[in-house]
Amino acid sequence: MRRAKLDKIDKKILRDLQADGRITNVELAHNAGISAPPCLRRVRALEEAGFIRGYHADLDGEMLGFDVTVFAFVGLVSQAESDLRKFEEMAADWPLVRECHMLQGDTDFLLKVVARDLDSYNRFLTSQLTAAPNVANVRSAIGIRTSKREYGVPVGPDVDIEDLV
């Protein structure tokens, strides 16, 4: 696991960008207590170092017709590294799968799947997921509501990772 030392200004920049990826450099610099040119250099350095992986819009799935969220717990027949990678590659190609996490324990993968309705999820489940090579079993848990959604990680000038555990 890679760890790097970030100063308070870097953490302020990361916190603000994580909260609002469209913040202007001038506002970002003001919040961090520095001028705009060094702020932009810091942002570019954080991007190049891999701390910032990208920028995106947070879309409302329900407004776009995706009313169902399902968490699918997937067990595989084989856990050989090549088989795990093949499953991850398949999951990456399924548009309804929004997240794919390999787990330790009884379940090999947890998928976050969005669908228009239960029928469309069931079609995905039977025609793609359970039909995929090496899939032994799938257990589905249908989301009722989301009460907290925070993206990224807790970061900021006054956040010390050791204090969070």
- CATH code assigned at 89: 3.30.70.920
Asked if 61 contacts 149 with a C-beta cutoff of 8 angstroms, the reply is no
Give the end-to-end CA distance of the chain in Å, rounded to a whole number: 17
Q: Give, for all 165 residues of the chain, the pLDDT tens digit.
A: 455 789 999 999 999 999 999 999 999 999 999 999 999 999 999 999 999 999 999 999 999 999 999 999 999 999 999 999 999 999 999 999 999 999 999 999 999 999 999 999 999 999 999 999 999 999 999 999 999 998 889 987 776 655 544
Return the bridge partners of 69, or none: 114
- 77 and 27, same structural domain? no
Domain extent at residue 111: 68-142
- 53 and 72, same structural domain? no
Identify whether 50 is part of a domain: yes
> b/e for 147-159, b at 16 or more Cβ within 10 A?
eeeeeeeebebee
Question: Which residues, 6 or more positions from 114, have their beta carbon under 8 angstroms from its beta carbon?
Answer: 61, 66, 68, 69, 70, 96, 98
Our count of domains for the chain comes to 2
**What per-residue confidence (pLDDT) applies to 164?**
47
How far apart, in whole angstroms, are the C-alpha atoms of residue 58 and residue 14?
17
Identify whether 155 is part of a domain: no
- 92 and 135, same structural domain? yes
**Structure tokens belonging to residue 27:** 């506002």
- 74 and 51, same structural domain? no
Q: What is the CATH number of the domain that holds 23?
A: 1.10.10.10
- 132 and 75, same structural domain? yes
**What per-residue confidence (pLDDT) applies to 160?**
64
- 79 and 26, same structural domain? no
Identify whether 77 is part of a domain: yes
- 134 and 86, same structural domain? yes
**What per-residue confidence (pLDDT) applies to 5?**
84
Q: What is the pTM of this model?
A: 0.85
How far apart, in whole angstroms, are the C-alpha atoms of residue 52 and residue 44?
9
- 52 and 111, same structural domain? no
- 75 and 123, same structural domain? yes
